[in-house]
Structure 1
Amino acid sequence: MMKNFYKKLSFVMVMGISLSSYAAWNGDATAWTQGDGSEQNPFLIENEAQLSHLQQTVTAGETYQGKYFRITADLDMGGKQMPSIGHYNDYTTQENPELVRESKVFRGTFDGDFHTIDNLTIVSNNAEATLGGLGLFAVSYPETRICNLTLGQGVTVEGSEFDNVGGFVGYSAGGNVENCRILGTVNGGGMNVGGIVGSVEESMTITGCVNAGRLVGHSFAGGIVGYANLSKIQNCYSSAVISCPLASWVGGILGWAVESTVNNCYAIGPVEAEVGSIWMPGKSPICAELEKSSASNCYYVEALTGCKPLSEQTGVTAVTEEEMKAADMIAKLNANLSANAWGVGADGFPALLWEIDGTGSIESVGATAGIEIVKEGDRLVIVSATGEKARLSVYDITGKVIVTAVVTDGDCITVHDKGVCIASLVTDDGNRTTHKFLF
């Protein structure tokens, strides 16, 4: 029986950067040798060939339900192609309108342990030109959990017009994606394209996720999720370039939300799509259409996104770039959380605490002309060959101000707090340099 009636949006049915510690992947697949798959002793993905083995075994039908995996190192996939982990095959037939689920799905926990998978093109494993799911994982079910993972700048997710395309999950029928970030490109040739997840059928939670790459697609596209039903998107942000020319339902965070919530999110990346109308929403900085859905504590910078909501959206607020970088924005994003999730990023914009803790000990973004910060033990020393002055602000990772002062060459600031701190210098003419230091 031809399986030609695949689950998709009802509207569509009607309208018809890290270096690996291993050598680059050579295309082999080998089984892992460490761990028993329990939460206390997970299977360890120690090299690229073991990730390939996971792809092959899940696509062959092994679900690993209830099993735990953890990556132990950054993985360099050598610029090669690898199909998605798993295979989408949920369908109906003319004789049986009930949804049949025959997808090959990973139903365990995949913990990246804050490592990066890089230099990989993820391609479809669909043998026929039928609707599919394409991402690092093709499909997720309620038991699926993907967390603590970055897809690097050298990653491209290469979809077709038939695929639901996302960086981490193409098509979701439930599950959780937490603390995941994409720096590469998600290329969806058709509808339902998201930086993290392409299309969510129901009941998914996406939290602490980031798109800082590029997204190309058509309608129902978003920096984090393309389409979401009965789901939660929270503590996420997108600085991605979103390119969906002539498309509708395109959002900086989410294209189309149905009975879902979008909380504590912000967008600063440019969104290219149709402006839209009351009948067909076009581009929007957070979500193009909130159908029986709600947004709260979400922010955008119109000068950076290039758009604003077609009509007023409760819980979606426009701010300037300066306001987005201000210390009280961190307080706003953390205000209603049981535990702080946000701090000051190295570029001055809000960042997630796992990003600030999980990257290297020192990062610098931007540069001022003639004045810099040097770390010496527990002190920050100002170096200015020209004698220029600047306003120094030092924050802890929660956004709390530790020090603020006007400084010039030779000034020393002792930092008593231990852990990650963000130091920002702003000159009188508005030039900014931002550093992240580990004390």
Structure 2
Amino acid sequence: MKKLYLLLLSAIMGTAANAQTWDGTTAAWTQGDGSSSNPYLIENGQHLAYLSETVRNGETYEGKYFKLTTDLDMGINDEQKFTPIGFFDEYIDSENQGGGMIDDSKYFLGVFDGNYKTIDNIHVYYVDPNPENGIGGTGLFACISQNAEIKNLNIGENSIIEGADATGAIVGAMNGGKVINCSNNAVLTIMGTGPTGAGGIVGTNNGGGTISGCSNNTNINGHNSVGGIVGYVDKSGIIENCYNTGMITVGGFFAGGICGYLTSGTAKNCYTTGNVPSDGIFNQAVIGTTDTGVSIENCYYLNIPNAATDENPGVTAKEEADMKTESFVTDLNNGQNVWTIDSKNMNQGFPVLSWQVDPTPVSTESIQEANINVYTIGHNLYIQSETSCQAIISDISGKIIVNENIDNKTITLDNKGLYIVTILSNGQKYNHKVIIK
């Protein structure tokens, strides 16, 4: 009887696990109103696929907010393929003399908060039906622009990103916007004989966008303009506080541990430990090649025998032992509080980004400075403030439990667990973690 019970329990658990795997269908989200305080909640693969479908049909979601509530299994073991969110279609009007650039892209223009969750077992696949255009655009998001923001998101190691021009795990093509606190462990597969722009995080940043606080931890083999973080950067794009550990190789031109081709813009406070072979054309350890007027500041690479070096101003070679010291973390921070020592051995002792160690840092000191007191007794949460303030309380999944104005009010939290308390007061935002035992 006991054996039968265990078999039944295993079957039930197996069914529950399979229920979490994306089945290739779409379904509209049911939680949230798209505001910053009550974002649309992406709770499963069907919701993510619905986002892809609606953006490709022309909905930009400009000014709307999304939040991923859980890790997603996107069904690669069931041979599911995920079509990128959006569609990049920027090309030169060859039919009219002097016609200039035509942009028929379907951009995502909202804010997508990955909530420090992982999307894994995803096979992102898109091949341009008109390859002679060479427009590309493959990633979880095909393209973003303007005030779009993709943040706090991990792509798992059992994933494949398969594309041609402008291929990156998070975003294929940036024409503005921001990618913040994202990491990639997926395999990038670049098809064709001469695609341009492949990066662990972003394929091409061609519109002044910002890539900040990101890491790539997988090898990348592309054709032209290949980088651990981004392949190609133009129009004053920014790469800051990023690192790469993967090997970067090309079949053509321009490879770098951080960026393959920086034609215009800034790279600062970055490092790479990945091997960039020295026998490539315009290969360098950090930035493959540059044009006049770029800015490279406070960037470093691991000194690897027989690998590419880097002659760019603002780039320094380091030995492994030096890169694992607190003083190197101080150098990378450069007056910030972005980097931290690898105390948990997440990155073989090399520095990691603070969000990777603690994705929801407590700001108790800031709350105290604002004369706000947050504490718990049993299941009761107490928020004491000298002035009226707004409290947003979320559980660990990201679901909002409370969102209301608070005036020295007691809130009862029925369930045990970790809660994130966000206080909005006098135009400032403070985060605090509480545990109900």
Distance 2:110 2:335 in 1: 30
Q: Which amino acid aligns with 1:40?
A: S
Cα distance, 1:21–1:114 mapped onto 2, change above 3 Å: farther
- Report how many aligned residue pairs link the two structures: 330
Alignment pair present for 1:218 and 2:223: yes
Match of 1:84 in 2: 84
Alignment pair present for 1:227 and 2:232: yes
Match of 2:371 in 1: none
Match of 1:53 in 2: 50
- Residues 105-144 of structure 1: matches in 2 within 5 Å? 105-124=107-126, 126-129=128-131, 130=133, 131-144=135-148
CA positional deviation for 1:68: 0.3
Decide which moves more: 350-359 or 227-236: 350-359
Q: Which amino acid aligns with 2:261?
A: W
Among residues 264, 270, 274, which one is paired with 2:275 in the alignment? Answer: 270
Would the aligned equivalents of 1:24 and 1:78 in 2 still touch at CA under 8 Å? yes
Cα distance, 1:69–1:92 mapped onto 2, change above 3 Å: same
Distance 2:150 2:252 in 1: 30
SS in 2 for 1:226: strand
Would the aligned equivalents of 1:166 and 1:186 in 2 still touch at CA under 8 Å? yes
CA positional deviation for 1:100: 2.2
Q: Which amino acid aligns with 1:64?
A: Y
- Residues 304-323 of structure 1: matches in 2 within 5 Å? 306-309=307-310, 312-323=311-322
Would the aligned equivalents of 2:278 and 2:307 in 1 still touch at CA under 8 Å? no
CA positional deviation for 1:344: 2.2
Q: Which amino acid aligns with 2:119?
A: I
The structure 1 segments of at least 4 consecutive aligned residues displaced by more than 3 Å after TM superposition are 19-22, 272-276, 339-343
Distance 2:287 2:104 in 1: 32
Q: What is the CA RMSD across the aligned residues, in angstroms? A: 1.9
CA positional deviation for 1:20: 7.8
Q: Deviations over 1:162-191 (max 9, x none)?
A: x21111111111110000000111222322
SS in 1 for 2:146: coil
- Residues 159-238 of structure 1: matches in 2 within 5 Å? 159-160=163-164, 163-189=165-191, 190-229=195-234, 230-238=236-244
Would the aligned equivalents of 1:269 and 1:304 in 2 still touch at CA under 8 Å? no
CA positional deviation for 1:91: 2.1
Unaligned runs of at least 5 residues, structure 1: 1-18, 277-281, 360-439
CA positional deviation for 1:358: 3.8
CA positional deviation for 1:285: 1.1
- Residues 86-101 of structure 1: matches in 2 within 5 Å? 86-94=86-94, 95=96, 97-101=99-103
Alignment pair present for 1:344 and 2:349: no
CA positional deviation for 1:202: 2.0
CA positional deviation for 1:247: 2.5
Cα distance, 1:61–1:295 mapped onto 2, change above 3 Å: same
Match of 1:284 in 2: 284
Q: Deviations over 1:283-334 (max 9, x none)?
A: 111101232212111111121792202xx32210001000011121111111
Unaligned runs of at least 5 residues, structure 2: 1-15, 361-437
Cα distance, 1:21–1:145 mapped onto 2, change above 3 Å: farther
Distance 1:178 1:220 in 2: 22
Q: Deviations over 1:85-126 (max 9, x none)?
A: 111112231315222221111100011000000001101163
Distance 1:105 1:21 in 2: 32
Cα distance, 1:256–1:29 mapped onto 2, change above 3 Å: same
Would the aligned equivalents of 1:84 and 1:125 in 2 still touch at CA under 8 Å? no
Among residues 27, 30, 40, which one is paired with 2:24 in the alignment? Answer: 27
Distance 2:269 2:113 in 1: 24
Match of 1:394 in 2: none
SS in 1 for 2:316: strand
TM-score with structure 2 setting the length: 0.72
Q: Which amino acid aligns with 1:207?
A: S
Distance 1:268 1:52 in 2: 35
CA positional deviation for 1:343: 3.3
Distance 2:46 2:221 in 1: 29
- Residues 332-411 of structure 1: matches in 2 within 5 Å? 332-337=331-336, 339-344=337-342, 346=345, 347-358=348-359
Q: Which amino acid aligns with 1:48?
A: G
Q: Which has the higher helix share?
A: 2
Q: Which amino acid aligns with 2:341?
A: G
Match of 2:39 in 1: 42
SS in 2 for 1:173: strand
Would the aligned equivalents of 1:249 and 1:283 in 2 still touch at CA under 8 Å? yes
Q: Which amino acid aligns with 2:324?
A: K
Match of 2:330 in 1: 331
* Identity across the alignment (%): 38
SS in 1 for 2:330: helix
